[in-house]
Amino acid sequence: MYKGIIVDDEPKAIKLLQDMLHQYCPEIAITGTANNTDIAFDLISMKNPDILFLDIAMPRESGFDLLERLPKLDFEIIFVTGFDEYALQAIKFCALGYVVKPIQVAELVKAVNNAKRVVSLKDSHLANRQLLKILKEPGNKKNRIGIPIASGIEFMPTEQIVHCEGVKGCTKIFLQNGTSIISSYNLGEFIKLLKDYDFYTPHKSHLVNMDHIQRYHREGIIEMSNNSKVPVSRRRRQAFLDLMRQQELGE
């Protein structure tokens, strides 16, 4: 059994989630619910949950504010939100769990299963802290992006990613230290997640870190800092050159 806590300002939303968990994830025992962040603070401190179901937009204090106040964040979080593009972007960046309202059963089960798997690894603290940092400093190139790989989640500062290549629905990520990792996310996910971090898509299956571009060859090849070569598609060459010129002027 896993201990769960639900925090949401709408009692209706709490009851709904409780019902759904009871029916579809019976291995989660809800040990407490809170409809404001003050109660939630005490409840979490007392009960040491494995999984926290947390609403983001709440009166006076958001879900993120609550996390900020808590001394220990050693539990898995599944965010439950109506609509919050900005927050979802940060949550996905850290590879944390979330479900959107109205809640889809399949999504909920998936998020819970994921959380259960990670609880045993005992490193939730890191990812949760990471999220708070990203919310404070979006776009900081030292921010670590959570990359789901076969054995778990790898956290990598965006500045260490040289370039990414989409391969059969997965993504191969080339790192500064010469190694590479393969993620089950497709390239499109990375394009969205890294859009505030000076990445560019020169080709439909390539994403490059602008800071790692070494030189550009006239025939449409970018040479990266790790000496690998990335093609620029014919139609994007002009736009790419314009962007490079703009960056030079900016610096």
Partner 1 sequence: MRKQTEGRSVQYARLPPGAYEFKIFAGDEDGRRSPPLRSIHFTIQKPCWNTWWFYLLVGFVSLAMFYGVVSLRVRAIRRTAREKNRINKKMAELELQALQSQMNPHFVFNALGAIQFFIRNTEIEMADDYLAKFGLLMRLFLESSKNKFIPLADEIRLIQLYIKLEKIRFEDRFDVSYEIDDELVDSYTLIPSLLFQPFVENAINHGLFHKKEKGYLSFAIKEAEEALICIIEDNGIGRERATELKQKSTKNYKSRGTQIVKERLEVLEKMTDLSIAIKTEDCFPGRDEPGTRVIIEIPFLE
Among 46, 57, 106, 221, binds partner 1 (CB under 8 A): 57
Residue 24 binding partner 1, by CB under 8 A: no
Q: Are 221 and 213 in contact (CB under 8 A)?
A: no
Of the two residues 77 and 147, which places its CB atom closer to partner 1 in the complex? 77
Least CB distance to partner 1 at residue 21 (A): 12
Q: Is the peptide bond preceding residue 102 cis, with omega within 30 degrees of 0? A: yes
Angstrom distance (rounded) from CA 180 to CA 106 = 32
Instruction: Map the footprint of partner 1 across residues 123-152, applying CB under 8 A.
Output: 135-136, 138
Which one, 137 or 242, has the nearer CB to partner 1?
137
Identity of the residue, 82 or 169, whose beta carbon is nearer to partner 1 in the bound complex: 82
Site string for partner 1, 71-110 (x = CB under 8 A): -----------xxx-xx------------xxxx-------
Residue with tokens 């790192």: 175
Nearer of residues 64 and 174 to partner 1, judged by Cβ: 64
Binders in 145-204 for partner 1, by CB under 8 A: none
CB of 140 or CB of 176, closer to partner 1 = 140
We find the least distance from the C-beta atom of residue 80 to partner 1, in angstroms, to be: 9
Shortest Å, Cβ 142 to partner 1? 17
Smallest gap from Cβ 78 to partner 1, in A, equals 15
Q: Which is nearer to partner 1, 74 or 84 (CB)?
A: 84
Contacts to partner 1 by CB under 8 A:
10-13, 15-16, 19-20, 57, 59-62, 64-65, 82-84, 86-87, 100-103, 135-136, 138
